[in-house]
């Protein structure tokens, strides 16, 4: 079997540097997001892939699609040449400029596509290290690795893998486009302040790439799992607010990330692309949400988590045992953390009947969260408008989730966002 290195070299040589493709002038670009998605799903792309690989035509499957508003569409595909072994590739319409090493450029009617062999993502150099068991063993579990699983991968952005050793120990390895040192600093600041976060796992040797962050597993279980297990109140509002209040002021010096709710127009565009039959309704709703958010005060600036939802909060016996995914932690407004938590809870009953206890749990959080909004210098209306904005941001992702009827689920989320906006009024 070919090794990744062998495949990478063969793939690289299929795109000679002597035949560059000139990027079209912005005024000539007419490739809509929907057209990009259709291109990746069509026969032309499949033909270009196998031609670049220098193999006979075979089967091509799109494993994942990611639309980043304002940037482009990226996909992960599996190409299986006739009579050959499957090859995993990444491809994007996002402008990478001059093709980096080991990246092929394809052209379709004057538009460009960049393609690479997984795991050699041009914006995630650490992925090639984190995806190779021997490298992970050398850095974190010498001679003991029994499993290495990719949990999440967004081309050009980030990846998360789980490594498990033969003695049962495990670690999560996060591969970042940038900001790894900043993320380590956030972990250290929060831990020093008494905020429960996963412990960093230092490498035993210097990694080839600095953009890798490894952590030990969190204790307890996620709020999502606790709800599935039948708990009616996994963690109360008082405990959540206590932990958020303990965030250290040093986080205010970190870069500020735009909260989900303040990108209502972008998320509305993505949702309209994913579900074009609802595009008009979504556009009207996203404009109304953005207008309402702008009309309400955001409150005072405080250290925030930035992506607080039920899968990122681990609990045991009603106490928070860990907060995960600290990439967005930094200056912000408490109301956005609370809105994020409420919005993600609100869509859970659409996912599985096991979340039948969620509406009652969500209701128990409302009054304390509204009181905190007022104490932070904002309003309950702002809380609900921002909750509506976060729900809107979850519409486009329905297309990538395992739903028997994704259009129905998308419409439910659209209507939920609308009802939350009505509550803000």
Q: pLDDT by residue (tens digit) across 141-182?
A: 988 899 999 999 999 999 999 999 999 999 999 999 999 999
Q: What is the DSSP letter of 355?
A: G
Whether the pLDDT of residue 24 is over 60: the answer is no
Q: Looking at residue 7, what is its pLDDT?
A: 30
Whether the pLDDT of residue 23 is over 50: the answer is no
The dihedrals phi and psi of 109, each to the nearest 5 degrees, come to: 60, 35
Tell how far CA 275 is from the center of its chain.
Answer: 20
Structure tokens at 327: 């990439």
At 8, the pLDDT band (50, 70, 90 cuts) reads very low
- As a whole number of angstroms, the distance between CA 325 and CA 307 comes to 7
**Cβ-based neighbours of 109, under 8 Å, separated by 6 or more:** none
Whether the pLDDT of residue 417 is over 90: the answer is yes
**pTM exceeds cut of 0.85:** yes
Least-confidence region, from 94-98, 201-205, 324-328: 94-98
Structure tokens at 221: 């279980």
Q: Looking at residue 50, what is its pLDDT?
A: 92
Cα-based distances in Å from 133 to 3, 8, 23, 87, 157: 13, 18, 38, 18, 22
Say which residue, 97 or 314, is predicted with more confidence. 314
Mean pLDDT of the chain, nearest integer: 89
pLDDT digits (tens, 9 = 90+) for 264-309: 999 999 999 889 999 999 999 999 999 999 999 999 999 999 999 9
Percent of the chain residues past pLDDT 90, beyond the cut: 76
- As a whole number of angstroms, the distance between CA 104 and CA 41 comes to 19
Q: Looking at residue 358, what is its pLDDT?
A: 97
């Amino acid at each position: 079997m070919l090794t990744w290195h062998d495949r990478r070299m063969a793939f690289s040589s299929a795109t000679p540097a002597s035949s560059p493709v000139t990027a079209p002038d912005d005024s000539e670009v007419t490739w809509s997001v929907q057209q990009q998605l259709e291109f990746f799903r069509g026969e032309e792309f499949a033909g270009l892939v196998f031609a670049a690989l220098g193999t006979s035509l075979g089967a091509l499957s799109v494993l994942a699609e990611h639309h980043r508003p304002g940037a482009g569409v990226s996909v992960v595909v599996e190409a299986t040449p006739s009579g050959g072994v499957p090859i995993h590739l990444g491809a994007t319409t996002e402008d990478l400029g001059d093709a980096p090493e080991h990246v092929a450029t394809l052209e379709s009617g004057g538009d460009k596509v960049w393609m690479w062999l997984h795991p050699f993502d041009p914006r995630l150099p650490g992925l090639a290290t984190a995806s190779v068991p021997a490298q992970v063993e050398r850095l974190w579990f010498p001679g003991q690795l029994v499993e290495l699983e990719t949990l999440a991968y967004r081309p050009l952005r980030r990846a998360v893998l789980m490594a498990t050793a033969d003695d049962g120990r495990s670690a999560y390895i996060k591969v970042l486009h940038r900001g790894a040192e900043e993320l380590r600093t956030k972990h250290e600041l929060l831990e020093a302040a008494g905020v429960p976060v996963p412990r960093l796992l230092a490498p035993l040797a210097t990694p080839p790439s600095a953009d890798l962050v490894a952590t030990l597993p969190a204790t307890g279980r996620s709020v999502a799992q606790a709800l599935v297990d039948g708990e009616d109140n996994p963690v109360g509002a008082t405990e959540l607010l206590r932990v958020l209040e303990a965030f250290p002021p040093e986080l205010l010096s970190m870069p500020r990330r735009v909260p989900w709710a303040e990108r209502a127009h972008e998320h509305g565009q993505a949702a309209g692309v994913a579900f074009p039959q609802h595009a008009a309704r979504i556009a009207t709703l996203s404009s109304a949400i953005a207008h309402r958010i702008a009309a309400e005060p955001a409150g005072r600036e405080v250290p925030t988590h930035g992506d607080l939802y039920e899968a990122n909060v681990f609990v045991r016996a009603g106490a928070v045992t860990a907060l995960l995914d600290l990439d967005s932690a930094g200056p912000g407004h408490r109301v956005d953390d609370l809105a994020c938590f409420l919005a993600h809870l609100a869509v859970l009953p659409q996912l599985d009947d096991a979340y039948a206890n969620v509406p009652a749990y969500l209701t128990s959080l409302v009054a304390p969260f509204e009181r905190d909004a007022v104490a932070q210098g904002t309003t309950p209306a702002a809380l609900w408008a921002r909750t509506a904005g976060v729900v809107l941001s979850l519409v486009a992702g329905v297309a990538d989730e395992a739903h028997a009827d994704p259009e129905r689920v998308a419409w439910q989320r659209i209507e939920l966002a609308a009802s939350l906006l009505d509550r803000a009024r």
